[in-house]
Amino acid sequence: MDHVIVGTAGHIDHGKSALVRALTGTDPDTLPEEKARGMTIELGFVFLDDPGYAKQIVFIDVPGHEKFVKTMAAGASNIDAALFVIAADEGISVQTREHFDILKLLGVKLGAVALTKSDLVDAAHIAGLTVTVRDFVRGSFLAEAPILPVSAVTGAGISEVKATLQELGLRVAPRPDSGVFRMPVDRVFTMHGFGTVAAGTILSGNVRAGDRIEIYPEGLKTRVRGLQVHKSKTDVSGIGTRTALNLQDVRKEDLRRGQVAAAEGSLVPTARLDARLDVLESAGREIKHRERVRLHIGTDEVMARLAILGGQTVAPGDSSPVQIILERPTVALPGDRFVIRSFSPLVTIGGGHVLDASPGKHKRFSGRVLEGLGKLGGTARDAVEQMFIQSGGAPQGVHEVSLKLGRGEPAVAEVVAELLAGGSLIAVVRDKPEKYIHRTVYERLSDGLVAGVKAYFETNPFRATRPFSDVRAEFLEEGDAPTLKLILDELIGKNVLFRREAEIGLVGREAKANPVEDELRARVEGAFLSARFAAPLEDEVRIRLEINPSSFKKILDGLIRDGRLVRLASKVTYHRETLEAAQAAALGLIERRGSVTIAELRDRLNLSRKYAQAILEYFDKTGLTKRVEDRHVLAKP
């Protein structure tokens, strides 16, 4: 059965709990302290049972006292409709106004106004208060809402309130569902024989007994041992449903209101949130850059500072993009609503909705940043495209973007298909699941790669190529290996770059002559050429020619890369002409005898066994010959 979550709201002692008790027959105040003090302290959850009604109405009864506004905000964060309570004998009071502001900031769309304690006033007073209330709610979600006199003592008006709530319940629109389980925790308790329980309203997806879930932001991993809905055991519960989860191997002390139970790996704790902030007209003052505030998001309360991205202040009644810098991590998704209360005095001053739940630090007054945040708060197409732009060189798939945006995969997949067809996205990983980067990012990475190669040659004018390992390391600071391969293949195909073994070069560019290096290069090459078959150790050549190790390595690597020298083994390096002479000798012996041994090549060239062995093993490795027992024959006769 679909649940309709109705939250009460209003000033203390205006009769919220008494009205819920009259409607349901159940007292929402269950704590001994609440009964002793005659006031709601904690959230109360009561079901309105009516077998003839198609849905299940659940009341969340919230405290009205100013000291418990944070509890009220937690309770109202996920409601479908509001039952706004105003005592007929007292009228609009302080918390009436603040609760009303909170409901508007949280984006509540439906509701009704109950004028409680109507038995204490006459009809003329009710008529006058009705006019006052209608003026008070003008321009809000309650502008056309029913205003219903009611008395929990006499029962007058109770049936009308109940019928109105049932009519509202039928108008509640289905919640958007990402398909991934997420439930902000608003109650934590233990039940004898049942264990630790976390309860809340499921915002998306569903959960089953036996599922592995995670408690955020702490990252506690647990299993759902069992679950209850309306005090009845069930195997599965889903979006929009008040649900109690019995958690395995988790202590009550490890849980708190403000946490979020969700699918494993589906959320990322964050210390920053990009958001659109709306400042209340009733705030009565400007909100300043870096002001310390209390953030109420989901069922959580976190101390934070507001970084105003487009100015120094935000005036009452105005809006601005902000970055909320948290004093401890929380979790959220784009679109989540929040409320801001001042640090001192404790009053509600604004609220808004999240645009990016895991942003980096922004440069203030940046047009690019402000434009990007505008897109995140725009259409589905704008938000999805902006998420790919912000992901930079890290390819994203439909699943990743869906999780980051809190949107369903089918809707994201539809936008991705449009962007791909229009050329705005480029497929980097074509295997399922496909991953993409935005074309502007692709072009920036491609231009940056070419610019990096050119910059290298500006400081190394005598080099003909740049080591690929350097190019790769530089690229991976922003992109990934599959993107590098895609970009490099395209640049080579367009004849912009060329690749030679482990080196990258610019097509059409010639290295500048370096007289000093050319002279050293000639001396090193000459040392190996003159040694013929008795090649010296590489380090011996360096010491004899008095060349520093780094310069010698650079020269030697260049000669080997260009094919002038060939390293046959770790301690045997030949000049190309010497190796060609050895190859001619070995092939001559094979032609006459059908094969050649190490001893035969040693005697033919008058060299030591070490060199003859290195030569023949090199020919085997390169595929010229192959070894058969102790003899070497042509690999391809």
Instruction: List, in order of start, the domains of the chain with CATH numbers.
Output: 3-171 (3.40.50.300), 182-263 (2.40.30.10), 271-369 (2.40.30.10), 392-512 (1.10.10.10), 518-634 (1.10.10.10)
DSSP symbol at 596: B
Could you tell me where the DSSP H helices lie in 25-106?
32-37, 69-76, 94-105
Q: What is the largest CA-CA distance in the chain?
A: 128
Listed residue (434, 416, 414, 412) closest to 425, CA to CA: 416
Calculate what percentage of the chain has a pLDDT beyond 70.
Answer: 94
Q: Which residue has the tokens 């050649």?
A: 596
Mean of pLDDT values over 128-135: 96
Residue 26 pLDDT > 90: no
**Is the distance from CB of 12 to CB of 64 less than 8 angstroms?**
yes
Strands 182-191 and 260-263: antiparallel
Listed residue (231, 241, 324, 311) closest to 276, CA to CA: 324
Cis before 515 (ω within 30): no
User: What is d(CA 419, CA 430) in angstroms, rounded to the nearest whole number?
Assistant: 16
Residue 331 pLDDT > 90: yes
User: What is d(CA 562, CA 567) in angstroms, rounded to the nearest whole number?
Assistant: 12
Calculate what percentage of the chain has a pLDDT beyond 90.
Answer: 58
**DSSP-assigned letters across all residues of 563-595:** TSEEEEETTEEEEHHHHHHHHHHHHHHHHHHS-
Report the pLDDT value the prediction gives residue 222, as an integer from 0 to 100: 95
Least confident segment among 38-52, 178-192, 561-575: 38-52
**Band of pLDDT at residue 38, cut at 50, 70 and 90:** very low
**Is the distance from CB of 631 to CB of 596 less than 8 angstroms?**
yes
**DSSP-assigned letters across all residues of 296-359:** EETTEEEEEEEEESSSSEE-TT-EEEEEEEEEEEE---TT-EEEEEESSS--EEEEEEEEESS-
User: What is d(CA 185, CA 334) in angstroms, rounded to the nearest whole number?
Assistant: 19
DSSP symbol at 172: P
Q: How far is CA 288 from CA 117, 307, 310, in A?
A: 42, 9, 12
Contacts 24+ apart (CB under 8 A), 130-134: 132/91, 132/92, 133/86, 133/92
More confident residue, 225 or 373: 225
Report the pLDDT value the prediction gives residue 45, as an integer from 0 to 100: 75
User: What is d(CA 81, CA 108) in angstroms, rounded to the nearest whole number?
Assistant: 6
Cis before 28 (ω within 30): no
Report the pLDDT value the prediction gives residue 28, as an integer from 0 to 100: 56
Question: For the packed helices 576-593 and 515-531, what is the interaxial angle rounded to 10 degrees?
Answer: 30
SS3 280: coil
Mean of pLDDT values over 40-55: 72
Residue 514 pLDDT > 70: no
Report the pLDDT value the prediction gives residue 41, as an integer from 0 to 100: 36
Residue 272 pLDDT > 60: yes
Report the pLDDT value the prediction gives residue 43, as an integer from 0 to 100: 63
Q: Which residue has the tokens 């321009």?
A: 139
SS3 527: helix
Take residue 622 and report the two structure tokens written for it.
């390169």
Take residue 362 and report the two structure tokens written for it.
């922004």
Residue 67 pLDDT > 60: no
Give phi and psi for 40, each to the nearest 5.
Answer: -80, 130
Residue 576 pLDDT > 80: yes
Mean of pLDDT values over 19-38: 61
Strands 425-429 and 435-438: antiparallel
**Is the distance from CB of 190 to CB of 84 less than 8 angstroms?**
no
Report the pLDDT value the prediction gives residue 561, as an integer from 0 to 100: 82
Contacts 24+ apart (CB under 8 A), 230-236: 230/47, 230/56, 230/58, 235/208, 235/209, 236/206, 236/207, 236/208, 236/209
Mean of pLDDT values over 602-620: 93
SS3 134: helix
% helix / strand / coil in the chain, to the nearest 5?
Answer: 35, 30, 35
**Band of pLDDT at residue 74, cut at 50, 70 and 90:** low
Report the pLDDT value the prediction gives residue 513, as an integer from 0 to 100: 59
Least confident segment among 214-228, 317-331, 352-366: 352-366
Report the pLDDT value the prediction gives residue 191, as an integer from 0 to 100: 79
Listed residue (48, 170, 173, 62) closest to 107, CA to CA: 173
**Band of pLDDT at residue 66, cut at 50, 70 and 90:** very low
Report the pLDDT value the prediction gives residue 33, as an integer from 0 to 100: 42
Report the pLDDT value the prediction gives residue 72, as an integer from 0 to 100: 56
Q: How far is CA 550 from CA 126, 152, 234, 542, 594, in A?
A: 94, 91, 72, 10, 45
Report the pLDDT value the prediction gives residue 588, as an integer from 0 to 100: 93
Give phi and psi for 510, each to the nearest 5.
Answer: -115, 135
Interval 392-443: pLDDT, tens: 899 999 988 988 888 888 889 999 999 999 999 999 988 888 999 999 999 9
**Is the distance from CB of 149 to CB of 89 less than 8 angstroms?**
no
Residue 42 pLDDT > 50: no
**Is the distance from CB of 431 to CB of 361 less than 8 angstroms?**
no
**Band of pLDDT at residue 44, cut at 50, 70 and 90:** low
3-state secondary structure 452-492: HHHHHHHHCCCCCCEEHHHHHHHHCCCCCHHHHHHHHHHHH
CB neighbourhood size of 567 (10 A): 14
**Mean pLDDT, the chain, integer:** 88
Report the pLDDT value the prediction gives residue 147, as an integer from 0 to 100: 96
Report the pLDDT value the prediction gives residue 558, as an integer from 0 to 100: 83
**Is the distance from CB of 196 to CB of 250 less than 8 angstroms?**
yes
Determine the length of the chain: 637
Residue 31 pLDDT > 70: no
User: What is d(CA 557, CA 475) in angstroms, rounded to the nearest whole number?
Assistant: 24
**Band of pLDDT at residue 105, cut at 50, 70 and 90:** confident
Give phi and psi for 341, each to the nearest 5.
Answer: -120, 145
Give phi and psi for 377, each to the nearest 5.
Answer: -95, 5
Interval 447-504: pLDDT, tens: 999 999 999 998 888 788 899 999 999 999 999 999 999 999 999 999 999 998 889 9
Listed residue (359, 337, 438, 361) closest to 394, CA to CA: 438
